[in-house]
Structure 1
Amino acid sequence: MEHRDDTRPQTAGSYPSGAGTVVYDRDWAEDVRRSVRCAVALLGLLLCVDWTAGGLTWWRGALWLLLAVLLLLVLFPVRVSAGPGWLATRRLPRLRTRRVRTDLLASARPLDGVTQRLVLRDTLGNRVEIDPEVLIRNPELWYRLAEGARVSEAAGTLRCGTAALHRLARRVDRETALGVFRVSGLE
């Protein structure tokens, strides 16, 4: 069954190929380890409490294991990658890759809530939702997105969200400069 936001065959144009390399979220592996540690810690804590209370049975142990797996699925980070003219995300629970053409962006809308999200839509109907912090922590990913957004803005396809992208660009620049100052000892 196809979901309306799944990656689907292109009706017009293909993904740009070129000399650029694909870049990934460099903190993803550490985020995965952190998620696994939290799930294992919860499982260990629940088993210890249940064992010391004297009520640990095999079915209660299976229930605690199920709870730990659910926590892992909730905490598991999204894998973000980008290349020349595209940005993609891959989520674990659904094992779907969603890809958006950054050189054909139609909108970039920030969503505020418990966690901030940036929703990118292209003219082909594809949609990607990412955490702006991933772009801030990974200037290479931001560069790929900004490069494509500039092309979209110049072509006139990016009609909604240019202000949000410009705010995000200032934030990325500020965090990158602070990181350079921190490394050089000028903080």
Structure 2
Amino acid sequence: MERRGTRAAVRTATGTVRRPERTATDEDWPAACREAVLGGAGLLAALTALDGAAGSLDPLRGGLWAALAVTLFALLLPPRVTAGQGWLSARGPLRRRTVRTDRLVSVRWSEGIAQRLVLRDDTGRRLVLDPRVLLANPALWHLFATGARTAQASGALLCGATALRQLTERAEERTARTLLAGSGRA
């Protein structure tokens, strides 16, 4: 989902106009969050129901089941990915990690069962995320790719041009498939 900042354009003292920054957020995150909540709540309901039916439910065991359900929720909750002009951020349950995409020095992509994209910028900040989040959200992909191209053109990207090219090919392939499916040709 693309969204514009909430501030209107502001004229500064020097007469220049400052517009709000364009940002994009993972459109699928609310559904994934809902699934994580349902998973944790379902586990809590099942464990307390079984324990209650057995007649062994007490406050200590109930607290243990609640802690287990919260742990499952934290494990299932994916990070919320947001991008802006020149940056990409992933906010998890405990912390937020941000890299400057226009100053990337390394892009690594591991394909397999658990796909991971590892990004590192020139300040040493590191961000690990599932590349499918970028590929499934065109607005996120566009902001990420624009920043990565800037880093590549400036010579900052020292490692990962091949991974970036492969990721770009995958994004273009997915976009083409989506357009064909929308036109009724696929």
Scaled to the shorter chain, the TM-score interval is: 0.7 to 0.9
Number of the residue aligned with 2:43:
42
Residues 65-106 of structure 1 show CA distances to partners (whole Å, capped at 9, x for unaligned) of 1100010111111011111111111111x2x22211111110
Distance 1:166 1:184 in 2: 27
Match of 1:7 in 2: none
Q: Which piece of structure 1 moves more, 111-120 or 167-176?
A: 111-120
Q: Deviations over 1:8-64 (max 9, x none)?
A: xxxxxxxxx866501111111111111000111111111121122222222111111
| Partner AA of 1:43 in structure 2 | L
Counterpart in 2 of 1:4?
none
Is residue 47–residue 64 contact of structure 1 (8 Å, CA) maintained in 2? Answer: yes
CA shift in 2, pair 1:55/1:88, >3 Å: same
CA–CA separation in structure 2 for the residues paired with 1:113 and 1:39: 27
Greater RCO, CA 8 A, separation 6+:
1
- Alignment RMSD (CA, Å): 1.7
2: distance between equivalents of 1:108 and 1:80?
17
The one-letter code matched in structure 1 to 2:64 is L
Identical positions, percent: 44
Task: Trace 1:108-127 onto structure 2 (pairs within 5 A).
Answer: 108-111=107-110, 115-127=114-126
User: By how many angstroms is 1:113 displaced?
Assistant: 6.3
- Kindly indicate whether the alpha-carbon contact (under 8 Å) linking 1:100 and 1:128 is maintained by their aligned counterparts in 2: yes
Query: Which ranges in structure 2 are unaligned for 5 or more consecutive residues?
Result: 1-17
TM-score, scaled to structure 2: 0.84
1:183/1:113 Cα in 2 relative to 1: closer, same or farther (>3 Å)? closer
- Which amino acid is the alignment partner of residue 105 of structure 2? A
Alignment of 1:1-187 (within 5 A): 20-92=21-93, 94=94, 96-111=95-110, 115-187=114-186
Q: What SS does the corresponding residue of 2:22 show, helix, strand or coil?
A: coil
1:178–1:112 distance in 2 versus 1, CA, 3 Å: closer
Gaps of 5+ in 1: 1-16
**Any conservation in 2 of the 1:109–1:118 contact (CA below 8 Å)?**
yes
Give the residue type in structure 2 aligned to 1:59. L
| Structure 1 segments (4+ residues) deviating >3 Å | 17-20, 111-114
> Alpha carbons of 1:99 and 1:18: their partners in 2 closer, same or farther (altered >3 Å)?
farther
**How many residue pairs were aligned?**
169
- Matched position secondary structure for 1:22: strand
The CA distance in 2 between the partners of 1:122 and 1:114, in whole Å, is 26
Is contact 1:18–1:84 with CA below 8 Å preserved after alignment? Answer: no
